[in-house]
Every structure is written in structure tokens, then in C-alpha cells.
Structure 1
Amino acid sequence: MQDRVVVEQDRPAAEVMNNRIIEVVGRDIVTGVTSPGSRLTLEGLQEKFGVSRTVVRDCMQILEAMNLVYSKRRIGLVVQDPSRWNVYDPRVIGWRLSGPGRSEQFQSLTELRIAVEPLAAAGAARRASPDQRERLVLLSRRMREAAADPEAFLAADIAFHALLLQASGNEMFAALSEVVAEVLSGRSRQNLMPSGPRPEALDEHEAVAAAVAAKDPAAARARMADLLLEVEDAILHHE
């Protein structure tokens, strides 16, 4: 019983260390500190972080799943070219948004949203459940109420867009919820949000929610397109 308690107490510390290793190595790769083709060894990483070979191997398997590195026999781990990265992984997105190419990353992610979210809004107008329609309206109102509280506003904004994607009835769109959440969080972390939400943005969120609630796919699609064009304009003018 005592051993079990010790294991349970140590687990959070182990998870923190694993996350730190993944964060440091992954961020260095994505931001260009570690260039494509560079060789990483388990021994070198063990020495750098002061952890066991097993811990390092587990962390590198996660980075392999992101296609940031690959294993090569007798060589070790090799850093992948950016064209091979899993660019939809939220962690990869977060690291890219913190690096020197953040403007291009924001632009490409905004273009993705412009391509997807208007169709998702139309799908939600057709397929959302009564509860989802009601919650979308409530979230749009919560955003306006939280306009003076950046953290509360961001939470409501993320919840709004995640619900819209899920309510679309398209599982491919729903799978992008974490991507959009990372984009919205990244804008806040990188100080690319206006000092307060623009009145036009609040109006558009409410208009999208109203169109979904009214089961009007054309209006929902148009209003979401207007909203995202406003987002694109805000990012371009900030840069």
C-alpha cells in the first residue's frame, strides 16, 4: 500500500517532466533552433534532462507521432523537414505561433477557418439539436457580458467556436475544435487581440448564433464569413 501511495505522489512530477521535455525539444524543432536533419540521441537527451532512457524514449515517441522526428537505424532520431510535420497538432500550432513565422502561421490558420467555419455554421443551422442552438445563443451573449474580462471572454469564444464545429454534424469539422481553440488562445498569448473585443465581432457572433437558432443555413454561413473576414483584417492590421 505504501509503495502505491509513493507512485501516485510521484506521477504528477513525472508528467510535468515529460511535458517539459516534449515542450523544450518540440519547440526548438518548430521554431528552428534545431534544424531539419539534425541528429538527436537518447543518450544526449538523457544527459541534458537528467532522466532515464525510458522517459526520453516515451517523449520522443510523442514527437514522432507529430512527425517532428523519425528514427533511423544506427543513427538515432533525425529532425523532420517542416513539410512532414503534423501541422494540425495543437502543440505544433502553439509552438509555431510562438516562433519567428507566427504571422504566416496566423494567416494560414485564418484561411483554414475561413474555408471551414462558414460551412460549419450552415451545417449547424441544419443539424444542431435544440440544446446546441440554445447554448450557442447563450455563449454569444456571454461573450458580450465578459467583454471587460479577457480570460472569461476567451473561454466563451473558444466554447462558441467548438460548439459550432461540433453542432455542424460533420465529424471532420468537429475534429478541428482543438485547432481553433489553439488559434484563439494563441492570438491572446501573442497579444494579437484588440484591447477589448470589437463591437462588430460581438454583433457577428450573436448574428451567427441567431441564424443557427432560426435554422437559416444561408444566413449562418454569410454571417460567419463576415466574422472571419473581420478576424483576418484585424490580424493583418496588427502586423
Structure 2
Amino acid sequence: MSSSLHDRAVDELGRRIVAGELAPGSTVLATDLAAELEVSRSVIREAVRVLQSLGLLRSVRRLGIRVQPEDNWNVLDPQIIAWRLSGSGRGAQLRSLTELRRSVEPAAAELAARHAPDPEAERLLRIAASMRSIGRAGDLESFQELDIEFHSLVLAASGNEMFAAMSDMIGAVLRGRTRLGLMPKHPHEDALQLHIDVADAIQGRDPARARDAMERIMTRTLAEVEHIWAEEPRTVRSPTRADLG
């Protein structure tokens, strides 16, 4: 099976579901999807397995493939995040992710100042210094990758495996911001200095200063992008019995 055909089928179907083109509750047939996407049924079967694992589809015996409602989606999966950021609901998605980061990353920085091994703390300082020089040079692509590495390392250095598991999500949202043109070509000097402040506080074992500096980074981030979702309504999802265990 061609991996490119498989990836294309997953991407096309995922984007359609997230965009609402395949409505929740609707049922489709593998044969129809194969004909429409001009791929084999085996490619569709493998694509459906991937989308089932993300909570977007469910196979229903003798009926076909049913599109699942948003409540079933694995909304922290980087692939779903990328699809949502590329669609009409990008504002609400960016809001949710930014608010999540603002809640978690200051706490992660505080924990990292307590628990980060010395090599990781020193690496953070090197990354922050590189971010400043590359940011000033206007190399946005390289800066983005360093920014992802920095924030992922802070999460990992916290010693909290739940925080560490969010690193792929952080990468997805930062790359999404770049694609949407929401990253300045030359990051503000204050932002560059704050990353150094976080790293310095973690290496200096100063939890309060690490938390404060990361909180200030997140506050700046929120201010830079909150206009994107200014008109987006919020959806309040009631917990189901499955959620409550």
C-alpha cells in the first residue's frame, strides 16, 4: 500500500469531518469513499482505522462508517489540532489551546525549577540564547523549531508525565500560528528576554521566578492572538457518564 495514498486519504477525510462537510451522525460506505478519493478499499480501511483511533469515525456493522460528534474526538491529538486550525473554527481552537497553555506552562516552569536535571537546565539556557540570536535575524522557521523545543523541554523537565505528553500539542499550535501568519518576523525583545529569564530561573532553582516569567510569556501570547477569536462563541460541553466513569 502506498503510504502517500494512505496519508492523503486520512488527511482528506479528517479535514472534511472537522470542517463539518461530513456531518456528525451521517453514514458513508467504504466503496463510495474509495471511488470518490480514487483509492483502493484497502487504503480506505486503513484510513478509517486511523480516524477511528482519533474518535472521528466508527464502523457500524451492516450500515457502514458513521461520523462521530465532536465530543468523541481526541481533541489534543496534533493531527486534529492541525485540521481545526486550518478550518473555519480556527479561532475557537486557538483560544482553547492558548488558554490551556496559559494554565499549564507556568506550573511546568515552576516544577522544572525544582526538578530539572542539570543537563536539561543548561540546554534550556542554550536554546533560549539561540532563540534570541535567530529571532533577531528574522529566521522565522528556525526560530519556530527552537521555540517548540524550548517549551517542550520545560514540560518534560517538570517531571510530570502528563505535562510532558503535551509537547506534540504545543508543536502543533506553534506551527499553526506560523501558518496563519500570527508570528512576527522579528519576535519582540521582551519575549526573547523572557525565555532567557525562564531558563535562568530554572537553572538557578528559583520556582517563583520561573513561574512568573513563563506567566508573562503566556500573557504576551494571549494578547497577540486573542483578536482572532473575539467573535467566537464558547461551547459548554456537559460531562457524559463515560467522562464521569
TM-score by length of 2: 0.90
Partner of 2:102: 114
SS class of match (2:182): coil
> Where does structure 1 lack aligned partners over 5 or more consecutive residues?
1-10
SS class of match (1:33): coil
CA positional deviation for 1:51: 2.5
CA positional deviation for 1:192: 1.1
Partner of 1:5: none
- The question of whether the paired residues in 2 share the 8 Å contact of 1:192 and 1:238 is answered with no
Alpha-carbon separation, structure 1, partners of 2:166 and 2:200: 23
Partner of 2:124: 136
Match of 2:185 among 184, 189, 195: 195
CA positional deviation for 1:237: 4.0
In structure 2, what residue type is equivalent to 1:135?
R
Partner of 1:74: 62
CA positional deviation for 1:24: 0.4
Alignment of 1:9-48 (within 5 A): 14-48=2-36
Ranges of 4+ aligned residues in structure 1 off by more than 3 Å: none
In structure 2, what residue type is equivalent to 1:63?
L
Provide Cα deviations, 1:63-84, integer angstroms capped at 9, x if missing partner.
Answer: 0000001111211111111111
In structure 1, what residue type is equivalent to 2:151?
H
Partner of 1:104: 92
> Where does structure 2 lack aligned partners over 5 or more consecutive residues?
230-245
CA positional deviation for 1:107: 0.8
CA positional deviation for 1:132: 0.3
Partner of 1:178: 168
Provide Cα deviations, 1:106-156, integer angstroms capped at 9, x if missing partner.
Answer: 111011001111111111111111110011001111111111100110011
Provide Cα deviations, 1:161-190, integer angstroms capped at 9, x if missing partner.
Answer: 111111110000000000001010000011
Partner of 2:238: none
Provide Cα deviations, 1:32-80, integer angstroms capped at 9, x if missing partner.
Answer: 2221112121101111223222221111000000000111121111111
CA positional deviation for 1:238: 5.7
SS class of match (2:154): helix
In structure 1, what residue type is equivalent to 2:206?
D
Percent of counterpart pairs with the same letter? Answer: 43
SS class of match (1:54): helix
- 2:61 is equivalent to residue 64 of structure 1: no
Partner of 1:165: 155
CA positional deviation for 1:195: 3.1
SS class of match (1:146): helix
Q: How many residues align?
A: 227
SS class of match (2:39): coil
Match of 1:212 among 191, 202, 205: 202
In structure 2, what residue type is equivalent to 1:70?
R
> Cα RMSD over matched residues?
1.2
- 2:229 is equivalent to residue 235 of structure 1: no
